[in-house]
Structure 1
Amino acid sequence: LDHNNISEIKPEAFEGLHELRKLSLADNRIERLETAVFQELTQLTRLYLQKNRIERIDEDSFRDLRFLEELDLSFNRIVDFPRTLFEHNDHVVSLNISGITLSNLHVDMFACSAQLSIIAFERFSYCKYAPLVRTCYPKGDGLSSVGELIDNCVLRVVIWLVGVLTISLNCVVVIGRVCFQGENPAHSLVIKNLAVADFLMGVYLLAVACKDSELRAVFNQFALSWMQSGACAVLGVVAVASSEVSIFILTYLSLERYVMLVHPYKNCHVSLPAAALSMACLWLGGLLLAVLPLLGLAPSFYASNAVCFPLHLHHVYADGWQYSTAMFVCLNGACLVVICFCYVSIFRSIQQTRRETADCVHGAARTSFAQRFFLIVLTDAMCWAPIMFMKLLALANITISDSAYAWLAVLVLPINSALNPLLYSLSTQAFKKRMSALASRIRVSALNFSRSSQCAILSLSSLSLWEFLLQCRGGHLRPVASAARPWQQSSLMTSLAMKPTVQRSLTAPMTTKGKKTSVAGTSRRRG
């Protein structure tokens, strides 16, 4: 009965057709399915209702179709599915509800039929409501699939590598800044806060990678519980706070450098308390932006995908899409414009100054400065510009490929957290010199420890304990006047055990100018 402009099905329409096995009403104008409209079709196994105008289905519409195996309701205008719609259809094997945007899906809706093995939705995100179905269409969103949280093996490796690299580099920055002395404390505090913010992005990546390993091959069975869990929300908060605080601090650093280099005579150097207050405000702002959606604004803000990051590219108008657009496009776009303006102004100012003092500046130095500024602006633009561009394309209803979405979420966004330590700390000459000095001090300490150990071994084998304490003070081996004798070692050890004053004298200075005191002499007089 396809293509017959049928707009209504009355209850008595199929009266007496008890043996009918297949019915197709596709491409008609049916708008509603009444209660028990198919009550006479008790032996029906296949029903096709695709491409109609159905807006409402009564919860008992399919009650009498107990042997139904295949049902196609795709490309209709259904908004709400009754939760008990398929309650009496125990033999359904294939269900097609693609082309329908649903808002009230529930996991109980598809749990009635143990034989349901194939289901087709409009979006992959709906598959989590059918955790026991073996085959679900679409098979993935580029990032996740029915079996895997991270479907692409290359992406899986990249997440681990970028996460470990981000954590390692930012730990080096924090440790180095803590150990260095004589550095500008305000600037050092800002860089340490930037490193901590980027460190959190590495923690987020490793947490996602660990969850992927945990749910390997069984992801869809636990997808709904994972995406609606508090752990997923916490990971989303960590990732958003990290990205927002990071771009805020980069904007702060750009403005600070702009004022210091473009207007050097205004004496606008930032003090340590002012820098600490600024960092506290930036962290508070970033955390507030991350937590605010959970406070009633958009409760499922972080449940739009399996990695808990609310880009809203595949589901543009999902819960909280306005907030996501305002944050990732408007706010971060403004920060990126400020950063670009500051560094372009700095570069122009340096170029102008060097033209006026061309005889004092080498061309290689100009090239070095230009390359450094170019890299800073380029990495920031590479991180945030693609996100804003993709977001605008999605809002314009332009389809974004699954692979582009996956790489954007996994690599492009976090890569800036791994590059910031290189750009702002590890590649600077001052940091390199301080790290070299720190490494030299560590080598000297290790050498002194080795010499002290050798001193102890050699002395115990050839000297008496008394001569060992005299000759090896300060970790340096001194020439021995005479060989030790066994009775000297035993008598000295007895003397040390019985005379606490001798033990205290061993820790006192060996000599003082004008008053030379012999420890050995003191021992003889008191022994």
Structure 2
Amino acid sequence: MAIISLCCADCLMGVYLFFIGAFDIKYCGEYNRHAQLWMESLQCQLIGCLAMLSTEVSVMLLTYMTLEKYLCIVFPFHNYRAGRKQTLCYLIFIWVLGFIIAVIPLWDKQTFGNYYGRNGVCFPLHSDEMEKPGARCYSTGIFLGLNLFAFIMIVFSYTSMFYSVQKTAKTARQSVYNKEVSIAKRFFFIVFTDAMCWTPIFILKILSLLRVEIAGTIVLWVVIFILPINSALNPILYTITASSFQDKLKLCLKAKCKQAELRETSQKVSEAYQNPSAPP
């Protein structure tokens, strides 16, 4: 259930990129004439809200899954296993919280101003002198507060997990323990890709708050190419590394090999009937 939710959050990033690409084609060659109108438009606000929803839900889902694996690995005898209803409640809470975070800047224009329309890609990453104090504090709290805290928590949890793996002796529940370890390793690669993507975003946000001059094109490249990398890689990582997918892939390969052998045998038989004088 958590993986399906993460897949949906990643899919929202794909929808965001699709609309950015569509409007890029629409304004191609004459963007400067429509830039201000585009950044103040309802379309820009909505797709910016969609991108924020995708990133925040993805971060919180990864944090939740990491903490769940942390409890299973570090405390193997605690018998903690989230049930279906409990997991569903957590996932609903994460989605509702992500929706609230994304929509709040649209409610109060006096406090946030044109929160999502600070640049052409409608994502509030860069802070400048024209940005309202409320919007600056909010974006700082999200990117350097919530997201950085989640990132530190994930790093700490995985460090503790793999330390526990090295130190834990074999127990009677070794099969269950090995299953949890394999799942933890699987999610480690997902978290690692997120860390590689979020580190430059943290640095860029800190530099913008310190009033370091940053070229606008750098922000656009980060938002369009670096931020969505984890959304693109997550489905690949948690699909290919899943044991069920690997088992089905092996079965498909074996079935294709058998079909190829049957075709070859039937072809030889048909050739033998057509040429009865030919040697077998």
Q: Give the TM-score taking structure 1 as reference length.
A: 0.43
Task: Give yes or no for the alignment of 1:432 onto 2:243.
Answer: no
User: 1:401 Cα deviation (Å)?
Assistant: 3.6
Q: Read off the aligned partner of 2:43 and give its amino acid letter.
A: A
Would you say the 8 A contact 1:383–1:413 is kept in 2? yes
Contact 2:126 2:204 in 1 (8 A): no
Contact 2:190 2:230 survives alignment (8 Å): no
Is the Cα contact below 8 Å between 1:343 and 1:373 reproduced in 2?
no
- Candidates 109, 125, 147, aligned match of 1:311: 125
Residue identity in the other structure for 1:398: V
| Higher helix proportion | 2
Distance 1:272 1:260 in 2: 16
What stretches of structure 1 move > 4 A for 4+ residues in a row?
368-374, 439-443
Per the alignment, residue 137 of structure 2 pairs with: 322
Any unmatched runs of 5+ in structure 2?
175-181, 260-280
Q: Which residue of 2 aligns with 1:198?
A: 10
- Report the 3-state secondary structure (helix = DSSP H, G, I; strand = E; otherwise coil) of the residue aligned with 2:112: coil
What's 2:165 paired with? 350
Cα RMSD (Å): 2.8
What TM-score comes out, normalization by structure 2 length? 0.79
The residue type equivalent to 1:289 in the other structure is: I
* 1:278-297 correspondence to structure 2 within 5 Å: 278-296=90-108, 297=111
| 8 Å CA contact 1:316, 1:394 repeated in 2 | no
Relative contact order (alpha carbons < 8 A, sep ≥ 6): 1 or 2 greater?
2
Aligned to 2:31: 219
Matches within 5 A, 1:369-408: 375-408=189-222
| Distance (Å, rounded) in 2 between the aligned partners of 1:207 and 1:441 | 41
Give CA deviations for 1:387-443 in whole Å, capped at 9, x if unaligned: 111111111122224453232111111111111123333223333214555x57998
Do structure 1's residue 209 and structure 2's residue 21 form an aligned pair? yes
Cα distance in 1 between the residues matched to 2:7 and 2:187: 19
CA gap of 1:377–1:193, structure 2 versus 1, over 3 A, is closer
In the alignment, the residues of structure 2 paired with residue 191 and residue 197 of structure 1 have an alpha-carbon distance, to the nearest angstrom, of 10
Q: Deviations over 1:23-69 (max 9, x none)?
A: xxxxxxxxxxxxxxxxxxxxxxxxxxxxxxxxxxxxxxxxxxxxxxx
Q: How does 1:62-211 map to 2 (within 5 A)?
A: 189-211=1-23
Structure (1 or 2) with the larger CA radius of gyration: 1
Q: How far has the Cα of 1:212 moved from its partner?
A: 0.4
- Give % identity: 38
Which one of 120, 145, 148 corresponds to residue 333 of structure 1? 148
Instruction: Pick from 412, 427, 442 the counterpart of residue 226 of structure 2.
Output: 412
Which residue does the alignment assign to 1:260?
72
Which amino acid counterpart does residue 7 of structure 2 have in structure 1?
A
Mapped partners of 2:124, 2:184: distance in 1: 36
Deviation string for 1:433-490 (max 9, x for gaps)? 14555x57998xx9xxxxxxxxxxxxxxxxxxxxxxxxxxxxxxxxxxxxxxxxxxxx
* SS of equivalent to 2:198: helix
> Aligned pair count?
246
| Aligned mates of 2:220, 2:246 — CA distance in 1 | 36
Q: Determine the structure 2 residue equivalent to 1:161.
A: none
Shift of 1:317: 5.2
* Structure 1 letter corresponding to 2:42: G
| Separation of aligned partners in 2, 1:341 and 1:265 | 21
Q: Structure 1 stretches of 5 or more lacking a match? A: 1-188, 361-367, 447-527
Query: 1:32: which partner in 2?
Result: none
Q: Greater share of strand residues, 1 or 2?
A: 1
Q: How many Å separate the matches in 1 of 2:202 and 2:41?
A: 28
